[in-house]
Structure 1
Amino acid sequence: MTISLATEPTFSRVPDGDEATGREAVELARAYGVPLDDWQAAIVRGVLRESGGGWSAAQAGLVVGRQNGKGQILVALELAGLLLLRECVLHTAHAVKTSSDAFRRLVAVVDSHDDLTRLVRRRSHQVGMEYLEFASGARVSFTTRSASAGRGLSIDRLVVDEAEDLPAAEVGALAPTVFARPRAQSLYVGTAPGPTHDAEAFTTMRRAAHEGLNPRLAWWEWCAEWGADIDDRDLWVRVNPAVAAGRVPIQAVMDDRSILPTDQFRAERLSMFLPRGSGPVVFDAERWEALTDPDSTPARSIAIGVDAPPSRDAATVCIAGRRADDLLHIEWYETQDGLGWLPGWVAQRLTPHVRAVVMDARNPCAELDWTSAGVRPTLAGTREVVAAAGALFDAVADEKTRHRGQVELTRAVLGAAQRPMAGGQGFGWDRKAPGSSALLAVSLAVWGVDSGEVRKPRRKQPGEPRRVSAGRTGSVTTQWL
């Protein structure tokens, strides 16, 4: 069975294997009144793929917005654990309510069928310590997570619900529970994390899936790309498979859009991951969003920052300048393949409003023929590069800058990673972080706005008439650069 194009995940990676057990689990769930959409059934079959006498995937992850039916998938897997596989399953959640709701969902299925009820040997309804145990010894326990949850236990299947909120200490407590079992498996299920979630473990696992770092990791996600139009109803359908399948009305998404804060709607309904670096968070996402001003425009002291990665496969231009209210305006402006286009492109956009064109003296951009283009760049040394990174950091931290919410710049800022420079007395931006070229370019532009060390950028050629450009066609930035 295949799933329809409308409900295909936006990204998936599933190790090869035999799906016989998975198909049996899907049929078992349906026989006991747990209906599964095709996309849900595909996940159950994928999780339970087998190869080499064990599970094809030692770990599996699912990211999808709320109200799409994650719970039905877990019930199907837990029924299979009780009836087909005779497993010891530990189901954990961040919140007590989520854990208890999952227990009640499974109990409702068991108690509505006499043949299942007769198999129950023991049970507990004590909140936070619920469990079902069958006469076969199979058991499913439900608990909330903590730094000590699961310690001393040995289980066959670990279910981590609400995986978007999973601190490292809780991972350390839970991960060893599956080490001693020969056919153990861990399943991490959640939505995209919001700015306040402790999501390093979940985002690390997602990065491993996307980069193919773990051949025994299965992964499914329905995620909108950061910066996508959050009011695009076609997107709503695309990343909510239950809506695409017709089981949940789109009105449910419309209702959430009307009441949820923007960050929460992005995470919980669109599974839109914040751009983040692999290390500690440098810029606060909520503060960055609060600095958004779609109408922001610089009025004076405009500086252009340019950067290219060592691969020289593209170059990026960003600008900064002072607004009429004296706040700093920052903006991504252009990225194109290659480097040769850059000097002439910049030369065509120099006006009296531009006070500097800044680049790192060690960057490939500094090797270009700026003289022939009539451009006099300011080449920044290590001291200036460190000052530029600090200037951008301070401008954001002190809320003295505004930006237009561009995807390119937001990805760069929220994905920023620092690296020590100047003998540990300062920092620069790590090129391994996503969007680092834009981050470096905009930092140099910020430094160029107020620095007294910049050079006049226009190198007038003999007999050349004065040129004024309105900017690139279609740009949100026109008339002043």
Structure 2
Amino acid sequence: MTVVPSTPRLSEIARHVILPEGIVSSDFPKYERYLNRIGVHYDGWQRGLLMALFGKRENGEYACGISGAIISIPRQVGKTFTIGTAILMYCALTPKIQTIWTAHHSRTADETFLDMKNIVRQQGFSSLLKKVREGNGKQEIEFNNGSRIMFGARESGFGLGMKNISCVIFDECQRLSENALATMIPTTNTAKNPLIMFMGTPPRPSDDGEAFESMRYNAIKGLDNNCLYVEFSADRNADLDDRDQWKKANPSYPTRTSESSILRMRNKFSDDSFRREALGIWDETVAHTAINLSQWDKATVQKRVDGGFKSYALDMTPDRSVLTIGACMKYEDGTCHIEMVDQRNVAEEGLQWAVDWLAERWDDTASVVIDSQSPAMTLVDDLRKAGIRVTVLQTKDVGQATGRFQDLLATGKLSHLPDGMQQSLAVAVRNVVKRPLGKSGLFGWNKTGADVDISPLVACTYAMQGAYTSKRRPGVHEFIW
């Protein structure tokens, strides 16, 4: 198909188009050729999105196969048609592809299945199909080549225990919990070249949408080079009745999506809901993370200022796979600067490197800190044998440390390097929540998912605690961590 020149391209319409690294080819053209023959044609932005979605690296793997394709898209854009027709052809032309299309609510899953059923019955797919199942709990489209698309709701436990799933489409990602994500992703572990998609509108503050928010943040901040991120949205300060803003948010308006369709949402939704659902506008501040990201961004400095007392801390991931050293520089005016200074794989590097590293710096170090509950406690004896006095934090100290971090950040007394220079720390900050420590009101850091590593933030927090509480004053030096 030749795209009409006046049809805008994806990059001309979407607010954000962030491609995964290494795309050299795409499977989409072969799907499009067949779709064109049976009467399915795409606008330029749809074609661009699908070219990127099915983009491959030199090794033949999908470029977004690691982190997935993340699509923030308003209602009434034609999401099911765009993604659905392409996935139908992907399954029809690729033998034995097992696909899950999952929404949060059963109603949404049922509506998606109905839309897809209507597509395959009207768009010339019949010769490719073996069966459309409509039984309770067995909504699926089965192809002649053994591929299937199964539909269901996460709230009903759909997808649990499934294996060898090649493609997972997460719909309604504004309500995709970390728990649901951790449960569903392993279904693709045995697939040869999996493809995962995340689609939804911006979450409300009351939604369990931290997973979707984290994906968006990591993509926009350049912290994830393995994802495809596309966002359609109006301007943040948009006039909700401005048709130009409707067009900016919805590339299908007014040619495929009528004005009356959007007016129905305008009349039905509150202003706040219309901004999210119809115009795709995200809240400026994400509510789910334990750390205020606006304050975090304001605390960024391009270079650390030397001249204070330095303190270090060690933390290790619960599975003992990664060991991290965090650092804090405390200045005479009560401000401080934090950095993650080293992080290594334990299986490859062992543990002794950290003992040696800290021993070289102990003479001009105020403190070395470890949480009594951290797997890094295994290093205490070796550190002490190396002449290092180790400060071991108890539960009360951990609560004071995280509270101190919040207070210093809120009052502008904490600084850190740009996220791009400290990616592991930035990801930890973005994916941390609070965990209560008893009934005293104290709290510690907790990660949002099983695959999240918050040890850089934990180590920096404890290094800060050591810097502010240690009575050891070895002197002020110009130094490199």
Shared fold (TM-score greater than 0.5)? yes
Question: Cα–Cα, structure 1 residues 216 and 161, in superposed 2: closer, same or farther, change >3 Å?
Answer: same
1:161 aligns with 2:151: no
1:53 aligns with 2:60: yes
TM-superposed deviation, 1:184:
0.3
Whole-angstrom CA distance in 1 between matches of 2:113 and 2:257: 23
1:111 aligns with 2:114: no
The more displaced of 257-266 and 246-255 is 246-255
Aligned residues: 310
Kept in 2: contact 1:32–1:109 (CA 8 A):
no
Q: Secondary structure at the match of 1:256?
A: helix
Whole-angstrom CA distance in 1 between matches of 2:244 and 2:277: 17
1:274 aligns with 2:252: no
What residue is the counterpart of 2:34 in the other structure? Answer: 28
TM-superposed deviation, 1:119:
4.1
Kept in 1: contact 2:9–2:48 (CA 8 A):
no
The match for 1:198 among 205, 208, 211 is: 208
TM-superposed deviation, 1:111:
2.7
The superposition leaves residues 321-353 of structure 1 with CA deviations (integer Å, 9 ceiling, x where unpaired) of: xxxxxxxxxxxxxxxxxxxxxxxxxxxxxxxxx
* 1:368-379 equivalent positions in 2, closer than 5 A: none
TM-score when normalising by structure 1? 0.57
What residue is the counterpart of 1:70 in the other structure? Answer: 79
TM-superposed deviation, 1:187:
0.5
What residue is the counterpart of 1:262 in the other structure? Answer: 271
The match for 1:311 among 301, 325, 334 is: 301
Whole-angstrom CA distance in 2 between matches of 1:276 and 1:112: 44
Q: Secondary structure at the match of 2:91?
A: helix
Kept in 1: contact 2:174–2:212 (CA 8 A):
yes
Q: Secondary structure at the match of 1:430?
A: helix
Whole-angstrom CA distance in 2 between matches of 1:282 and 1:50: 36
Whole-angstrom CA distance in 2 between matches of 1:217 and 1:312: 27
1:140 aligns with 2:169: no
Question: Cα–Cα, structure 1 residues 429 and 229, in superposed 2: closer, same or farther, change >3 Å?
Answer: farther
Q: Secondary structure at the match of 1:150?
A: coil
Residue ranges of structure 1 left out of the alignment (5+ in a row):
284-307, 314-360, 365-418, 437-481
The superposition leaves residues 58-101 of structure 1 with CA deviations (integer Å, 9 ceiling, x where unpaired) of: 11011111000101122222212222223211110112222122
TM-superposed deviation, 1:158:
0.4
Kept in 2: contact 1:121–1:134 (CA 8 A):
yes
What residue is the counterpart of 1:8 in the other structure? Answer: 13
Question: Cα–Cα, structure 1 residues 428 and 50, in superposed 2: closer, same or farther, change >3 Å?
Answer: same
What residue is the counterpart of 2:182 in the other structure? Answer: 172
Whole-angstrom CA distance in 1 between matches of 2:236 and 2:270: 16
TM-superposed deviation, 1:167:
1.2
Whole-angstrom CA distance in 2 between matches of 1:274 and 1:257: 19
CA RMSD in angstroms comes to 3.5
**Identity fraction in percent:** 23
What residue is the counterpart of 2:246 in the other structure? Answer: 236
Kept in 2: contact 1:122–1:134 (CA 8 A):
yes
Kept in 1: contact 2:161–2:187 (CA 8 A):
yes
The code of the aligned residue for 1:66 comes to R
What residue is the counterpart of 1:182 in the other structure? Answer: 192
Whole-angstrom CA distance in 1 between matches of 2:72 and 2:93: 26
Question: Cα–Cα, structure 1 residues 175 and 278, in superposed 2: closer, same or farther, change >3 Å?
Answer: farther
What residue is the counterpart of 1:40 in the other structure? Answer: 46
Structure number with greater Rg is 1
Kept in 1: contact 2:80–2:116 (CA 8 A):
no
Kept in 2: contact 1:157–1:178 (CA 8 A):
yes
Whole-angstrom CA distance in 2 between matches of 1:176 and 1:432: 42
TM-superposed deviation, 1:186:
0.3
Kept in 1: contact 2:140–2:150 (CA 8 A):
yes
Whole-angstrom CA distance in 1 between matches of 2:259 and 2:233: 17
Whole-angstrom CA distance in 1 between matches of 2:198 and 2:166: 14
Kept in 2: contact 1:93–1:143 (CA 8 A):
yes
Question: Cα–Cα, structure 1 residues 204 and 38, in superposed 2: closer, same or farther, change >3 Å?
Answer: same
Whole-angstrom CA distance in 1 between matches of 2:87 and 2:240: 34
TM-superposed deviation, 1:162:
1.1
Kept in 1: contact 2:265–2:274 (CA 8 A):
yes
1:207 aligns with 2:213: no
The superposition leaves residues 186-235 of structure 1 with CA deviations (integer Å, 9 ceiling, x where unpaired) of: 00111111222211111111111112222220111112354444343322
Question: Cα–Cα, structure 1 residues 29 and 118, in superposed 2: closer, same or farther, change >3 Å?
Answer: closer
Whole-angstrom CA distance in 2 between matches of 1:206 and 1:310: 20
TM-superposed deviation, 1:145:
0.9
Residue ranges of structure 2 left out of the alignment (5+ in a row):
293-297, 304-332, 337-397, 416-481
1:218 aligns with 2:228: yes
TM-superposed deviation, 1:165:
0.9
What residue is the counterpart of 2:325 in the other structure? Answer: none
TM-superposed deviation, 1:42:
1.4
What residue is the counterpart of 1:355 in the other structure? Answer: none
